[in-house]
Amino acid sequence: SQQGEEDPQALSIQEGENATMNCSYKTSINNLQWYRQNSGRGLVHLILIRSNEREKHSGRLRVTLDTSKKSSSLLITASRAADTASYFCATEESGGSNYKLTFGKGTLLTVNP
Amino acid sequence: KAGVTQTPRYLIKTRGQQVTLSCSPISGHRSVSWYQQTPGQGLQFLFEYFSETQRNKGNFPGRFSGRQFSNSRSEMNVSTLELGDSALYLCASSLRPDNSYEQYFGPGTRLTVT
């Protein structure tokens, strides 16, 4: 079953604009991660935020985590055509050793040149 | 370092057949996970191995099985293939054995069942 649900399902913006994607999840988590996937290829890890962190930055990426609302957001600033991809959030549930990630269905981001 | 490699990249099989997919993790990574990706169900966890031991298994029928070798390479097997098994199968490896880890994914094996 899906843990994370991304919103929106699809997003189309112009190059240079910012893109914001949201993720909601259902259970308590150890951490939340964001991945990018280009057109049916493997996933690329973008950023990991732990449950005791509220915000994290990596280059043009900014991730926030609100555990009280069970939600996270991914902001990509100054987007480029090369950012066109599907973006997934993935959670590791807390409460023992799960050793698995539960993925949402993803947001398809299209950046138009 | 070389990334995660998966073989074969593409596979076409007939219903009822069985298939074995292979995954070689990044050198030094001992945790290997498998995921199935379909348009309808998205990314779903299959199983995870560490030091040749299966530590977790997803909600898939017993037709789906896997194993890990002493060199951390992993294989997954699907027996009695069904049309619904058509999917992209992704393997991921991780360096750390604990709960907070980032995973490095291979390019996937695209399986088509006819």
Higher pLDDT, B95 or A66: A66
Predicted confidence at residue A1, as pLDDT, reads 45
- Token pair 């966890």 is found at B45
Predicted confidence at residue A3, as pLDDT, reads 61
Search chain A and give the residue with CA nearest B103.
Answer: A45
Q: Which residues contact B82 (CB under 8 A, 6 or more apart)?
A: B15, B113
Measured distance CA(B93)–CA(B3) in Å, rounded: 9
Task: Judge whether A103 and A90 are in contact, CB under 8 Å.
Answer: yes
Search chain A and give the residue with CA nearest B60.
Answer: A1
For chain B, what percent of residues have pLDDT higher than 90?
84
Q: Is the CB of residue B7 less than 8 Å away from at least one CB of chain A?
A: no
Higher pLDDT, A77 or B97: A77
Q: Is the CB of residue B60 less than 8 Å away from at least one CB of chain A?
A: no
Predicted confidence at residue A99, as pLDDT, reads 74
Predicted confidence at residue A42, as pLDDT, reads 86
* Contact residues on chain B for A101, CB-CB shorter than 8 A: 33, 45, 103
Q: Is the CB of residue B50 less than 8 Å away from at least one CB of chain A?
A: yes
Q: Is the CB of residue A95 less than 8 Å away from at least one CB of chain B?
A: no
Please report which confidence band the pLDDT of residue B101 belongs to, taking 50, 70 and 90 as the band edges.
confident
* Contact residues on chain A for B50, CB-CB shorter than 8 A: 99
Look at residue A6 and tell me whether its pLDDT is greater than 90.
no
Main-chain dihedrals φ then ψ at residue A76, nearest 5 degrees: -110, 120
For A56-102, write each residue's pLDDT tens digit.
999 999 999 999 999 999 999 999 999 999 999 999 877 666 678 89
Look at residue B107 and tell me whether its pLDDT is greater than 80.
yes
Please report which confidence band the pLDDT of residue B99 belongs to, taking 50, 70 and 90 as the band edges.
low
**B32: β partners:** B49, B93
For B6-35, write each residue's pLDDT tens digit.
999 999 999 999 999 999 999 999 999 999
- The answer to which of A34-38, B42-46, B100-104 has the lowest mean pLDDT is B100-104
- At B10, the amino acid letter reads Y
The closest alpha carbon to B49, from B61, B57, B41, belongs to: B57
Main-chain dihedrals φ then ψ at residue B9, nearest 5 degrees: -80, -35
